[in-house]
């Protein structure tokens, strides 16, 4: 089966390529690129007016399987990914049981192959049960296919265990991803500590809790000569620490979420639990520093931290509700609206941060459009205006702070291994 994408604007950061061209796909791979291509018997997709990008990669997704299927599972999560324009996602290990052994890694990979509609990569836990006391089966998990190691969902309190985990994981040239918030400083805080939390009388999670944890993570990674990736950076102090560490040559990368780039703690004034997330939405000075960090390359990637919860779990008093919300079906629109249409990122930069960079960090053969590469492609309309309606989401997690927001830019087709998995917003497999 051949597929010919005609007349789209191909934006491929891996080669600095930005021009109109055709792409011919056969047997899951790109076999030709150029002008005025034709191919007998090929299905033709008219991509005129659309951007044709290497498939977007979300390196921070909570798929919730095994054990937490009321929130999400591989079927609903990968369909949400396809709807949002993602061709590859990496899932976090804070499931039930925790992904801390090779058999669970292989179980998820096996199931995803049959039930998933996009490529699924697995991130294994650093500590057994994510309890922070003994190392998980790191080596076995990596040999079974885990692409990174992380105790995401909570900050690892045990410095010695993190040091050993970094040393061990680095032997496999694999990154450790840290959720950096110092527990003793965040305690049971529910939002960013600052003027808004004081006004609302809500317990805060201070930015310094993140700064301290990031400083510790960087120092240990430098000491262990290991590959460190900082998840969902949200504080200006953390951005500066990562900037300085990179200058020094520490092997550190970082990601930021669409919500931390575009929302502030002012959103919490609604008391809507859809604004509750860890780390929390911070004040405007932090948001400005995150954008600057993304622009100058201090922050490498954009990742959603898609963290769905069952409706009834989030539908309660702010303090009691779990943290996290769904993100894959709004990410591209939020980033195009908030960063591209405002002139803060070019399309080449945006796609680099949402595809090429995550592929590089996780060591994936993806994130580029070139002859011979797998045909994982995202086609989007950068100017399509739409209004978020979470009731129509494919994910089970219906809460999002972007519900009812008007956005400009949306994926119109997602191609995985040469086949459409989403067309015109509808998942089609």
Catalytic residues: 305
Shortest spacing between CB 300 and ligand DOR, in angstroms: 18
As measured in angstroms, the least distance from the Cβ of 399 to ligand DOR is: 11
Closest CB to ligand DOR among residues 94, 170: 94
Out of 161, 307, 345, 421, the residue judged to bind ligand DOR by CB under 6 A: 307
179 binds ligand DOR (CB under 6 A): yes
SS (H, E, C) the chain: CEEEEEEEEEEEHHHCEEEEEEEEEECCEEEEEECCCCCCCCEEEECCCCEEEECEEEEEECCCCCCCCCCCCHHHHHHHHHHHCEEEEEECCCCCCCCCCHHHHHHHHHHHHHHCCCEEEEEECCEHHHCCCCECCHHHHHHHCCCEEECCCCCCCCHHHHHHHHHHHHCCCCCEEECCCCHHHHCCCCEECCHHHHHHCCCEECHHHHHHHHHHHHHHHHHHCCCEEECCCCCHHHHHHHHHHHHHCCCEEEEECHHHHHCCHHHHHHCCHHHCCCCCCCCHHHHHHHHHHHHCCCCCEECCCECCCCHHHHCCCCCCCCCCCCCCCCHHHHHHHHHHCCCCCCHHHHHHHHHHHHHHHHCCCCCCCCCCCECCEEEEEEEEEEECCHHHCCCCCCCCCCCCCEEEEEEEEEEECCEEEEECCEECC
Q: Is 352 in the site for ligand DOR (CB under 6 A)?
A: no
What residues from 141 to 160 belong to the interface with ligand DOR (CB under 6 A)? 152-153
Residues 261 to 290: which contact ligand DOR by CB under 6 A?
277-278
> According to CB under 6 A, which one of 116, 206, 324, 367 is a site residue for ligand DOR?
324
Stretch that binds ligand DOR, among 30-38, 83-91, 318-326, 346-354 (CB under 6 A): 318-326
Provide, rounded to whole angstroms, the least separation between the CB of residue 191 and ligand DOR.
Answer: 12
Residue keyed to tokens 């015109």: 424
**Among the listed residues 109, 130, 25, 92, the one whose alpha carbon sits nearest the alpha carbon of residue 229:** 92
280 vs 293, beta carbon nearer ligand DOR:
280
227 binds ligand DOR per the rule CB under 6 A:
no
Number of residues that bind ligand DOR (CB under 6 A): 12
**Which region, judged by CB under 6 A, interacts with ligand DOR, from 127-135, 221-229, 316-324, 352-360?**
316-324
Give whichever of 210 and 376 is closer to ligand DOR, judged by the CB atom. Answer: 210
Query: Cβ closer to ligand DOR: 28 or 322?
Result: 322
String marking each residue 41-70 x if it binds ligand DOR according to CB under 6 A: ---------------------x--------
Question: Using CB under 6 A as the criterion, what x/- string covers residues 88-127 for binding ligand DOR?
Answer: ------x---------------------------------
Which is nearer to ligand DOR, 170 or 399 (by Cβ)?
399
Indicate whether 323 belongs to the interface with ligand DOR (CB under 6 A): yes
**CB under 6 A: which stretch of 240-248, 263-271, 321-329, 334-342 binds ligand DOR?**
321-329
| Packing angle, helices 102-115 and 74-84, rounded to 10 | 60
Of 182 and 305, which CB lies nearer to ligand DOR in the complex structure? 305
Q: Which is nearer to ligand DOR, 78 or 257 (CB)?
A: 257
Residues at the site binding ligand DOR, with contacts judged by CB under 6 A: 62, 94, 152-153, 179, 277-278, 305, 307, 322-324
């Amino acid at each position: 089966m051949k597929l010919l994408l005609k007349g789209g604007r191909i934006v491929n950061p891996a080669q600095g390529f930005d021009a109109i061209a055709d792409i011919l796909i056969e047997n899951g791979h790109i076999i030709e690129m150029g002008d005025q291509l034709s191919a007998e018997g090929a299905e033709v997709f008219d991509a005129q007016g659309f951007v044709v990008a290497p498939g977007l990669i979300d390196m921070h997704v909570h798929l919730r399987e095994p054990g937490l299927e009321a929130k999400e599972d591989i079927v609903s999560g990968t369909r949400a990914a396809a709807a949002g324009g993602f061709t590859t996602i990496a899932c976090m290990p804070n499931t039930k049981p925790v992904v801390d052994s090779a058999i669970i890694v292989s179980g998820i990979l096996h199931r995803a192959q049959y039930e998933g509609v996009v490529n699924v990569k697995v991130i294994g836990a650093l500590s057994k049960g994510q309890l922070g006391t003994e190392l998980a089966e790191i080596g076995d998990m990596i040999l079974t296919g885990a692409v990174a190691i992380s105790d995401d969902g909570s900050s690892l309190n045990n410095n010695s265990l993190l040091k050993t985990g970094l040393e061990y994981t680095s032997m496999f040239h694999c990154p450790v991803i840290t959720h950096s918030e110092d527990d003793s400083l965040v305690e049971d805080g529910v939002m960013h500590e600052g003027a808004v939390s004081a006004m609302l009388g809500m317990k805060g999670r201070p930015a310094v809790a993140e700064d301290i944890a990031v400083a510790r993570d960087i120092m240990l990674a430098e000491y262990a000569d290991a590959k460190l990736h900082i998840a969902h950076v949200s504080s200006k102090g953390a951005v500066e620490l990562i900037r300085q560490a990179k200058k020094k040559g520490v092997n550190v990368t970082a990601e930021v979420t669409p919500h931390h780039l575009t929302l502030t703690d002012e959103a919490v004034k609604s008391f809507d639990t859809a604004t509750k997330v860890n780390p929390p939405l911070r004040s405007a000075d932090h948001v400005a520093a995150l954008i600057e960090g993304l622009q100058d390359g201090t922050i490498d990637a954009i990742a959603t931290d898609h963290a769905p919860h069952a409706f009834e779990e989030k539908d309660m008093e702010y303090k009691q509700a779990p943290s996290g919300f769904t993100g894959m079906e709004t990410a591209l629109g939020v980033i195009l609206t908030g960063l591209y249409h405002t002139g803060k990122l070019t399309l080449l930069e945006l796609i680099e941060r949402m595809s090429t960079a995550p592929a590089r960090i996780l060591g994936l053969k993806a994130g580029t459009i070139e002859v011979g590469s797998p045909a994982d492609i995202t086609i989007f309309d950068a100017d399509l205006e739409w209004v978020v309606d979470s009731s129509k989401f494919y994910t089970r997690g219906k809460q999002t702070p972007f519900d009812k927001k008007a956005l400009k830019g949306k994926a119109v087709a997602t191609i995985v291994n040469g086949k459409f998995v989403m067309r015109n917003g509808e998942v089609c497999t």
